Chain A
Amino acid sequence: MTASSPGTTPSSPRTSAPVPLPMPKFATAARSALADTRSRRNLRGAAAALREREAAAAAEPADWDDLREAGRAIKDDTLLNLDTHLAELERAVTEAGGVVHWAADAAEARRVVTGLVRAAGAAEVVKAASATTREIGLNDALARMGVTVRETAVADMIVQLGEDTPSHLLSPAAHRDRAEIGELFGRAVPAAGPDPAADPEALAAAARLHLRDRFLRAPVAVTGANFLVAESGTVVLLESEGNGRMSLTIPETLITVAGIDKVVPAWDDMEVFLQLLPRSSTGDRMTPYVSSWTGVTPGDGPRAFHLVLLDNGRTKALADETGRTALRCIRCSACLNVCPVYERTGGTPYGPVHPGPIGAVLTPLMRGVESAANASLPYASTLCGACADVCPVLIDIPDVLVHLRGKVVESRRRRPVPTPEMALMRGLAWTMGDPRRYEAALRRGTRWARLLSRGGRIRRLPGLLGKWTEARDLPAPPAESFRAWWDRTRT
């Protein structure tokens, strides 16, 4: 891989990220999220509506399962030969007049982009929807160097106006309702008029007017990408509003930040993904705006095009034989919309970048399981499997979750003093490992549990099991176990 191209400036203290506050564990963050009545109502509605649309859209093509299998196969083959495809992509983008930059981590990607913005002399940039720029913390880095960032995807704009955190992969403002959005617009968007919430069309019109002006002014646009076609060096972006396309056409400098997992070998592969992604993400047959661009075209669109290819933990995930299947993800968010956990907690407890079931695997795969917050993510699931049922590229999310739980436990085994859970689980395995030990423990446990019960119910348990009895009873075990009954009646 080549080094970063011109435009990269050395690290400056102003653009380095501040030390972030440690993320709380999922369960801790979920507790406050569960208490947010309004957000829960809004998310429940949004998830149910999307779920229904997506189910209908997936039921329509007769070859849906073949498409999913094709999507899986293309992604798996690409990931196994990622180096070749990326080198081909770089060659094709460069030949088409673009510049490719490689970023090993978020800090390097920030340095590249802030350097390009500084070189362009821009005081303002427009941004199209992009989870990857969120991943690298680009907005804050640009703000620290005095550049105003304008989110142009309406959902991102709402999150930005509300100084909020995104709750959904694809609809970051899914937790907001019309009244709240009207209130935000009333305060921050002059074109919105006195009572913008009354009329959704008026809200959209206000956003349009507000954004039109930004597009005409900004010299630099930053976008993400859905797919990078290696053979032609083409970037493909899907969006519903047209604001992304505006970002691609008006500003003079276009910077696209994309993870290295976004590459597909050939333009023909889009046949598969342009069916899978719209139907799984919004339940549409086709996304309203599908834009594609290849380098620069003299006299048309941006005069300079930069593609920043980001690793930031993706090769770490790729090195994990089970975990690498998660890199097939095309960020459709179908798994979020069917997840009973996500529907109740929203995106925030999963951390700032990847929410929902796919986030619960991608974040620990890319960031490791050393921090308590990342180690808690693989456990933020009941393994109900609803996500795997809808995944358009057949990622077996529960399987990856269990695999990651194994990694969490292995990393905890090295501690000199075992956690109470570790001691309990080891003891349990030792007891279960021998029928005589098991029977003795069964008899002893039954006696103790019966002592703890009243009226046939256990209402409070000590220690780790106390979490169960916080809100649920447990039946008192009958005096005679199954095997005791069997021995008494059958032998």
Chain B
Amino acid sequence: MRVALSVACFDDALFPDTGKAAAVLLERLGHEVVFPPRQTCCGQIHWTAGYHREAAGLARSYAAAFEGCEVVVAPSASCAATVRDAYPKIARTARDPGLARAAEGLAVHELSEFLVDVLGVTDVGACFPHRVTYHPSCQSLRVLGVGDRPLRLLRAVKGLDLVELPAADECCGFGGAFAMKNADVSVAMVADKVRHVRDTGADVVCAVDDACLAHIGGALSRLRGGVRTMHLAEILAETGPS
């Protein structure tokens, strides 16, 4: 299958390993990966912050960049959620039926959905002999409804010791602009998330959104918490000591 990779702008700059891992993984599974070069940002930042005119412009660019791509895979639940859930709203707000039609034509899958639902695999042949806990990001859980797909993929990884995260469903406190505009509440939330992560004794905390991981990881790093953050794609790309 020919798969167009959608890489979050945030990941492009700060977490390029996520996109690399997704490309390597999909190629390992026998698919052709392309990276449409005109993609920049899906517009999520502007949409959720209230800059709806700007978000409409970015959504149009995104739709144009992926026009004609049969399958788009985003290793970022919040970008996939933006295209699938927010684009129709962005189009409505901007009174742009052209954008609404273009959004309808975009088949964007979050990585775990693509692997489990479209490819029908849970064992991707990964090996990662570490203790891992999984944080279900809010956008993946409540907007996309990925359910236990990431957990099923993690359970099939050779050597991986998956430990349950207490109060896993509670938001980490990132929330885009919220982390800055309401920094105090945001920190109070991530403090509890970090406590739960540490309580699991895991070496790695995993998620399908690097923004949440940047938040949890940023707090862990400040506290010298000794727990690494990894995107699901990075773990699934690991094939263990060769």
Contacts and interface: CB of A to CB of B under 8 A. Distances in A.
13 contacts: A382-B171, A382-B174, A383-B178, A385-B143, A429-B51, A433-B61, A435-B37, A435-B38, A457-B221, A468-B218, A480-B16, A482-B7, A486-B35
A483 B178 contact: no
A27 B142 contact: no
A3 interface: no
Contacts of B50: 378, 402, 404-409
A472 B187 contact: yes
Nearest to B181: A379
B127 interface: no
Contact of B173 (A382, A389, A465): A382
Contact of B138 (A345, A382, A428): A382
Interface stretch (B39-47, B103-111, B115-123): B39-47
Contact of A483 (B35, B48, B61): B35
Contacts of A434: 40
B91 to A, nearest CB: 14
A477 B13 contact: yes
The 5 closest A-B pairs by CB, nearest first: A382-B175, A405-B50, A472-B218, A429-B54, A384-B171
A473 B215 CA distance: 8
Interface residues of A, number: 64
B16 A472 contact: no
- The CB with the most chain A CB atoms within 10 A, among B20, B65, B185, is that of B185
Given A344-B188, A405-B49, A468 B221 contact: no
B35 A26 contact: no
A483 B12 contact: yes
A340 B173 contact: yes
Interface bin, chain B: 35 or more
A146 interface: no
A89 interface: no
Interface stretch (A153-161, A198-206, A275-283, A438-446): A438-446
Given A384-B138, A384-B142, A406-B52, A475 B170 contact: no
A426 B53 CA distance: 10
Contacts of B16: 478, 480-482, 485
Consensus secondary structure, chain A interface: helix
A431 B102 CA distance: 22
Nearest to B216: A472
A31 B184 contact: yes
A450 B173 CA distance: 26
Nearest to A412: B50
Interface in B128-157: 138, 141-143
A372 B38 CA distance: 39
Interface of B: 7, 9, 11-20, 23, 35, 37-41, 45-52, 54, 57-58, 61, 65, 86, 89, 93, 138, 141-143, 169-171, 173-190, 214-215, 217-219, 221-222
Nearest to A480: B16
A465 B180 contact: yes
A332 B217 CA distance: 36
Given A340-B173, A485-B20, 18 more contacts: A34-B184, A383-B175, A386-B171, A402-B48, A406-B52, A425-B46, A428-B46, A432-B61, A442-B12, A467-B180, A471-B187, A471-B190, A472-B190, A473-B222, A475-B221, A482-B19, A482-B20, A485-B19
A41 B14 CA distance: 37
- The CB with the most chain B CB atoms within 10 A, among A31, A475, A490, is that of A475
Contact of B222 (A388, A432, A472): A472
A405 B182 contact: no
A27 B183 contact: yes
B35 A490 contact: yes
B218 A473 contact: yes
Contact of B218 (A379, A389, A464, A474): A474
A216 B12 CA distance: 72
A471 B89 contact: no
B219 to A, nearest CB: 5
A380 B173 CA distance: 11
A269 interface: no
B234 to A, nearest CB: 13
A385 B138 contact: yes
Contacts of B215: 472
